Amino acid sequence: MLAILAPGQGAQTPGLLTPWLDVPRIADLLNWWSAVVDLDLVHLGTKAGADEIKDTAIAQPLIVAAGLAAAATLLPDDDPHAVLDNLPHHIAAVAGHSVGELTASAVAGVLPVEAALVLVRERGRAMARAASLRDTGMTAILGGDPAAVQAKLAEHGLTAANMNGAGQIVAAGTIDDLAALAADPPEGARLRPLAVAGAFHTAYMASAVDRLRELTAGMPVGEPHTRLLSNADGTVVQHGRDVINRLVQQVAAPVRWDRCMETLGALGVTAVIELPPAGTLTGLIRRALPGVETLALKTPDDIPAAQELLERHRHELEPSMAPSWRLLVAPIAGTLERAALDLGTQVTAGTVLGRVVAKREAAEIVTAHDAVIVEWLAENGDPISPGQPIVRLHPRADEVFA
């Protein structure tokens, strides 16, 4: 099983788009996307220096555009005017870190590309405005006992804004509180201040959440074509509107990339490809999931190797993921409590088909569309893994039970 990953802010480097301009169609796409985000992406991705692309309002659209340009090259559509309209069936899951969730959502089919770019433009601007209200920042903490690190952050009034796994936690808060942490670090840990403009994924971003909630109310939304993981808790998100709501809330909530990696492991993912600007997430995967094959897609020269990896792992995805059917999957691990609905039952949007019950939580399995139950893929009382298929639906009963 193969997953596509998209990195977050801080991964950008000067000149990251330069090699992609020689790929047919990419320069034209970037010129069009520049108009959408109201930034000269070609200049920013080829000639701008590190200080210029550090600006949140610039970095976020640039990162998403780079990821989407590479995805359009790796996963070309039959229609030369389309971008990412048909995700290959053999991609088992998609996940993004922080702003990379917007890239992942577009790759998974939840957001049209232009909608993702509008959203990242407004997200970057709103987060930059929120950051300007208070002198805040972020510091990576490498190593140390996780519980001791968390205790030290609480002692200094800081938030664990990113739980990245593989021995990495990112602290966020005021500059004064970060300075106090630097003077009194957790035992056995190394600290590395990050070149970001504010305390992202904390309560300091509340005003940005308000702006994005207002903006996304009328946004066009599709359903995920494959498993799409959420930074909030690592769960597989089944419905497009739920994805959007989580994207908005995530701006002021901690990124749980550690849980995303746990879900990738539980799904049985055996290989990942990281979209540009690549390298950060594959490094974390190698430490947290050492048996998983990784490929950092940095330039077009990496495309042949990425396509070969896709081909080698294509047979490992369940045939039931084909997009002609609607497949509902478990959002968390636990025990299945299945609704008493027979095959052939016509259900309407919003129908609860069951729930997965864990020790500390339960999550409902709800259909977002009118459909007919074609096949139950798990039985009542079965132990369930996150992302495991539960029920297969079809939009029309007459096509499968005629």
Confidence grade of residue 175 (pLDDT, cut at 50, 70, 90) = very high
Q: Model-level pTM greater than 0.85?
A: no
Instruction: Look at strands 371-376 and 271-274 and give their pairing.
Output: unpaired
Judged by DSSP in three states, 237 sits in strand
DSSP letters along 292-332, please?
Answer: SEEEE--SGGGHHHHHHHHHHHGGGS-GGG-TTSEEEE-SS
Residues in a beta bridge with 389: 329
Judged by DSSP in three states, 124 sits in helix
Residue in 34, 97, 98, 230 annotated catalytic = 98
Between 12-26, 114-128, 377-391, the lowest mean confidence (pLDDT) is in 377-391
Reply yes or no on whether the pLDDT at 82 is more than 60: no
Q: Which helix (H) or strand (E) holds 383?
A: strand 383-384
pLDDT digits (tens, 9 = 90+) for 92-113: 899 999 999 999 999 999 999 9
Reply yes or no on whether the pLDDT at 320 is more than 80: no
201 labelled catalytic = yes
pLDDT digits (tens, 9 = 90+) for 218-276: 898 988 888 999 999 998 888 898 999 999 999 999 999 999 999 999 888 999 999 99
Percent above pLDDT 70 for the chain: 91
Neighbours of 59 (CB within 10 A): 25
Q: What pLDDT does residue 89 have? A: 56
Enter the DSSP assignment of 76. Answer: -
Q: In angstroms, rounded to a whole number, what is the distance separating the alpha carbons of residues 356 and 386?
A: 9
Helices then strands, each counted (H, E), the chain: 13, 18
Q: In angstroms, rounded to a whole number, what is the distance separating the alpha carbons of residues 45 and 61?
A: 11
Q: In angstroms, rounded to a whole number, what is the distance separating the alpha carbons of residues 265 and 261?
A: 6
Instruction: Confirm if 116 and 103 have CB atoms less than 8 A apart.
Output: yes
- Write phi, then psi, for 158 (nearest 5 degrees): -105, 160
Reply yes or no on whether the pLDDT at 368 is more than 80: no
**Span 135-193: which CATH code?**
3.30.70.250
Alpha-carbon distances of 211 from 36, 74, 385, 399, rounded to whole Å: 18, 33, 35, 44
Q: Positive or negative, the Cα torsion across 200, 262, 285, 321?
A: negative
Residues in a beta bridge with 352: 366
Reply yes or no on whether the pLDDT at 86 is more than 70: no
Domains 2-129+203-317 and 327-399 share a fold: no
Percent above pLDDT 90 for the chain: 70
Q: In angstroms, rounded to a whole number, what is the distance separating the alpha carbons of residues 212 and 193?
A: 28
Q: In angstroms, rounded to a whole number, what is the distance separating the alpha carbons of residues 90 and 79?
A: 20
Closest alpha carbon to 188 in 138, 137, 139, 152:
152
Enter the DSSP assignment of 184. Answer: S
Instruction: Confirm if 316 and 292 have CB atoms less than 8 A apart.
Output: no
Instruction: Confirm if 350 and 367 have CB atoms less than 8 A apart.
Output: yes
Q: In angstroms, rounded to a whole number, what is the distance separating the alpha carbons of residues 249 and 210?
A: 9
Neighbours of 151 (CB within 10 A): 11
Q: Which amino acid is at 344?
A: G
Residues in a beta bridge with 366: 352
Instruction: Confirm if 94 and 104 have CB atoms less than 8 A apart.
Output: yes
Q: What pLDDT does residue 85 have? A: 60
pLDDT digits (tens, 9 = 90+) for 112-146: 999 999 999 999 999 999 999 999 999 999 999 99
Estimate to the nearest angstrom the gap between the alpha carbon of 196 and the chain centroid: 20
Q: In angstroms, rounded to a whole number, what is the distance separating the alpha carbons of residues 291 and 154?
A: 34
Location of structure tokens 């009034």:
157
pLDDT, mean of residues 178-203? 93
CATH fold for the domain made of 2-129+203-317: Malonyl-Coenzyme A Acyl Carrier Protein; domain 2 (3.40.366)
Residue in 97, 105, 156, 201 annotated catalytic = 201
Ordered by start, the domain boundaries in the chain are 2-129+203-317, 135-193, 327-399
Q: Which residues contact 394 (CB under 8 A, 6 or more apart)?
A: 324, 325, 326, 371, 372, 374, 400
Q: Is domain 327-399 in CATH 1.10.150.120, yes or no?
A: no
Q: Which residues contact 345 (CB under 8 A, 6 or more apart)?
A: 372, 373
Q: What pLDDT does residue 322 have? A: 40
Judged by DSSP in three states, 121 sits in helix
